[in-house]
Structure 1
Amino acid sequence: MYSFIASGADLLVAHGQKENFEDIVKKILGELPKGANKAYVHEANCFYFLGDEGEVVVGCVAAKELRNTTAFAFLKEVKKLYGEEKGEGKKFKKVLKKQMERFSNEKEVNKIVAIQEELEDVKNVMRVNIDKLLERGDKLSTLEDQTASLEMEALGFKKRSQELHRSMWCASLRMKALLAFIILAIVTVFVLVILFSVCGTTMQKCSPPPPAPPLPPQPAPAPSKF
C-alpha cells in the first residue's frame, strides 16, 4: 500500500498511496528508537518499521491482515537492495514499486520468508495500537510501556487460568473417584442384603447338605454246595 526509506525523521523516498500516512510516519519516526523493529496499528492499517544501528529506517504501511513475517520480509528485502544500489529519489521508487508488486504474490512471499531464516526475530514483534496516541498526542514510549504491561498481565492471567483449570481438573478427578467408591459401596451393601435375606446371616440356608453316613459292610454270600 505504501513504503518508504527514511533517514532519522526525514523521508528520502516513498511509493504508494499516501493518504495521511506521511504525517503519521513522520510522527513515529521522530520518536522511533534507533535500530528498532516495530509495528504500530492505526485504524485498519499497520505501520511497520525496520531500523539498524545507523540512521536509515525502512518502513511500509499495510492492512492489519498482513502477517508480521510478510511485512518484515518485504522490509528486509528493500533494505538489502537499498544498501546494494544506494538508490535515491525516482530511481529507487521503481525498486519499491517492483518489490511491492512482488510481495503481493503469496507464493513468492512464502519462498522469501522461508529463505530468510533471520526473520525469527520479528515473528513476535508486538503490534502497538496508536489510535489513541494520535488523538491525545502522547509519546510512543509511554504507549509501548502500557502495551507491554498489558501483555504481561495477559500472560499472568493465562498462567493463572491454566493453574485454575488444572486445579479444577484434579478436584473433578477426586470427586469422580469418590463417587465411584460410594456407588461400589452401595452395590456391595445391596448384594449383601439380598444374600443374607436368602441364605440367612450364617449362610446356613445356602450351605450344601451334610454328606450321608457310609453304609455298614454287607456279609459275604455263603459259598454254593454245587
Structure 2
Amino acid sequence: MTTNSKGILYALVARGPVILCEYNLVRGNAPLVALNLLEKWVPRPDAKASYVADKHVFHLLSDGELTYLCMSDESLGRRVAFAFLADVQSTFLAAHGASTRSALAYELNTAFEPELRSRMLRLNADPRADALTRIHGDVAELKSIMVDNIDKILDRGERLDLLVERTDDLASSTFTFKREARRVHGALWWRSVRLRVCILALCALCLYVLLAVVCSPTLHC
C-alpha cells in the first residue's frame, strides 16, 4: 500500500463484515484490507484496537453492534484517530441509528459518504489535528488498546504485501459486489411494491364481493 498522503485516508461504518458506507481519499487496496479485518474482528461494546500495516495503521472502534474503522498514516496519533471515530459514531447514530440493523451493504453510502468526506478533510486540514479531541473532551485512555501487526489477525499469517500484489485481481470483485448489492436492493424494493399492489387489489376484490352479496352484483343496495 503506497501513498504519500497524511492524516485519515480511509474510513467506513460496518455491521459485522457488511460495509454500510465508506469513503476513500486515496487509491489502493485499503477497502480490501479493511474487509479482511472486519471478517476477523469481533465487535464488543467499547472495543478499540489498532493494527499496523506497513506505514499505515487501521484503527477500529465498536459499540457492540457497529464497527467504525479508519486508516491513517503512521504519524497520526491514536488519540486523534479515535477522536475522529467517536465523532463519526455519534454523527452516524444520530442520522441513521434506526436503519442500521436492516440496511444492506453500501445502502447508506449515498447518505453518509459526504459526512465521512467532510470530517476527513476537516481533520486532515488541521496540522495540529487536535480540534476533534477538544470537541469531544477527554478521549478514553489508550494505553490499554491493543496495537498489533496486521499479519497476526489475518488467517494463517497472510501478509499485507500479498494482498497488495493481488489488488488488481480483487478490485474488480469489489466493484462487482457493490453493483450486485445495489441490484439486490432494487429487486427487493420492486418486490415490495408488487406485493403491496397485489394486497390492495385483493382487498378491493373482497370488498366488491362483500357488497355484491349484501346488495347486488350492480351494487344497488
**Length-normalised TM-score, structure 2:** 0.56
* Structure 2, unaligned runs of 5 or more: 1-8, 98-107, 159-221
Matched, 1:45 2:56: yes
Match of 2:40 among 21, 27, 31: 31
Query: What is the alpha-carbon distance in structure 2 between the residues aligned to residue 13 and residue 34 of structure 1?
Result: 17
Give the structure with higher Rg (CA). Answer: 1
Secondary structure, in 3 states, of the residue corresponding to 1:104? helix
Q: Mean alpha-carbon deviation: is it higher for 40-49 or for 27-36?
A: 27-36
Query: Aligned-pair distance for 1:111?
Result: 3.0
Contact 1:69 1:123 in 2 (8 A): no
Match of 1:110 among 130, 133, 144: 130
Letter in 2 for 1:77: D
2:78 match:
68
Query: What is the alpha-carbon distance in structure 2 between the residues aligned to residue 46 and residue 128 of structure 1?
Result: 10
* Structure 1, unaligned runs of 5 or more: 139-226
Per-residue CA deviations over 1:193-216 (Å, capped at 9, x if unaligned) read xxxxxxxxxxxxxxxxxxxxxxxx
Structure number with higher relative contact order (C-alpha < 8 Å, ≥ 6 residues apart): 2
Contact 1:68 1:123 in 2 (8 A): no
Contact 1:2 1:18 in 2 (8 A): no
2:10 match:
2
Letter in 2 for 1:42: A
Matches within 5 A, 1:169-208: none
The count of aligned residue pairs is 137
Query: Aligned-pair distance for 1:33?
Result: 2.2
Percentage of matched positions with identical amino acids: 26
What's the C-alpha RMSD, in Å, of the aligned pairs?
2.3
